[in-house]
Amino acid sequence: METGKVKKTIDTTLAQSEARAFNFCAGPAAMPQAVLEQARDELLSWQQSGASVMEVSHRSKAFIQLAEESEQDLRELMAIPDDYAVLFLQGGARGQFAAVPMNIKGRARSADYIDSGHWAQSAIQEARRYLEVNVVASGQAQGFTCVPGQDKWPLDPQAAYVHYTPNETIGGLEFPFIPDTAQVPLVADMSSSILSAPVDVRRFGIIYAGAQKNIGPAGLTLAIVRKDLLGMAVETCPAILNYQTQFDKDSMYNTPPTFAWYLAGLVFKWLKGQGGVQAVAEVNRRKAEKLYATIDKSGFYHNGVDSQWRSRMNVPFTLADPALDSRFLEQAEQAGFLHLKGHKAAGGMRASLYNAVPESHVDALIAFMVEFERRHG
Ligand SMILES: *Cc1c(COP(=O)(O)O)cnc(C)c1O
């Protein structure tokens, strides 16, 4: 595309979105515009109450109804069976790195962990404070471009659980399969992939996710826990992290992050309006495919992740000449593209394509990248 045309594409899209930028932030990430607009409209007076949702008691009838409805909507979106508890918690995914071993260690001595990169390693490091961790597979030798296949994992049938990170937000690595762990509960840190595509919840013992990527604003953490894993926490587990306690108290053992919860509820309704997880999965697939195709055919941009293992949510890429990195980021920002800088642990660039990032924004990014390559390649 020519410079003038690129500018026109970008300007048109920007105009349509009330001067909101193209936001590719990895987290806290872009929210659906319709959700922000509704929140804005209701900010001073929620449900004609004369008060904001953040100014009312979490014990009020109206808020409890909101809480119940958001759980119901999430259950519908993910087809969560009745024998799973849905908990709305705090402390982020990192809180769950500790909560998981403290809650379900039981009588076991150890747990099995899959090392797929930065976030898996952070989970491993935290878990080591509470039990013995066996790293049964690692993508380290492959530079985290993939992880060895499950047939090579020496899983321990006595392990308390098997933990993995379905999507590595920094490395841009996504598991193309759900591990089969037989009778051992499978625990997944779905922070950056939850609700991006349908998953069979029955395959998991615990799914947890910080909200700030694909659910809502930071401050809320979801845990979906198979009910037979409740009630077995170690004595020293803080009550606030105790799944059974939070389940008994409807996730209100302490004051929950009510405004974040409200926004998450609006996002669930927005998702249902989009046609649900199945429908957004199709859009997500297209967004990622076209961005990877642009990278692969360029020779100027590069992504080294094994094609089977590429993340649909987080697309890291480098420029052939790293000296151009700062110019790329500068010009991108001038053109309205925000937060394309890669994580400091990875360098380069990263575009995060969560549910709330419209396909038109990915098209605009591709147009910008093609034009940048034309001028600098
Ligand atoms: C962002 C992220 C985390 C960290 O989440 P916090 O809520 O900040 O603790 C952990 N795991 C994954 C996969 C992430 O994407």
Residue 287 annotated among the catalytic residues of the structure: no
pLDDT surpassing 80 at residue 16: no
pTM across the whole model: 0.95
- The residue length of the chain stands at 377
- Residue 23: beta bridge partners? 338
Cα gap 186→113, rounded to integer Å: 10
User: For 14-28, 61-75, 220-234, 354-368, which range has the lowest pLDDT when averaged over its residues?
Assistant: 14-28
Q: Is the CB of 92 under 6 A from ligand 1?
A: yes
In this prediction, residue 14 carries a pLDDT of 57
Average pLDDT of the chain?
A: 95
Which pLDDT band, with edges at 50, 70 and 90, does 15 fall under? Answer: low
Q: What are phi and psi of 62, to 5 degrees?
A: -65, -40
Q: Which of 83, 63, 87, 64 is nearest to 74 (CA)?
A: 87
pLDDT surpassing 60 at residue 177: yes
Q: Is the CB of 189 under 6 A from ligand 1?
A: yes
Q: Is the CB of 343 under 6 A from ligand 1?
A: no
Q: Is the CB of 126 under 6 A from ligand 1?
A: no
Cα gap 209→189, rounded to integer Å: 6
Cα gap 268→291, rounded to integer Å: 26
In this prediction, residue 70 carries a pLDDT of 98
Which alpha helices (H) appear in the chain, and where do they start and end? 3-16, 33-41, 61-78, 92-104, 118-127, 243-248, 258-273, 276-296, 325-334, 359-376
User: For 15-19, 144-148, 328-332, which range has the lowest pLDDT when averaged over its residues?
Assistant: 15-19
> How far away, in angstroms, is 376 Cα from ligand 1 center?
35
Q: Using CA positions, which residue lies closest to atom 2 of ligand 1? A: 191
pLDDT above 90 covers a percentage of the chain that reads 93
Our mutation pick for probing the ligand 1 site, out of 122, 124, 169, 222, counting the most ligand atoms within 8 A of Cβ, is: 169
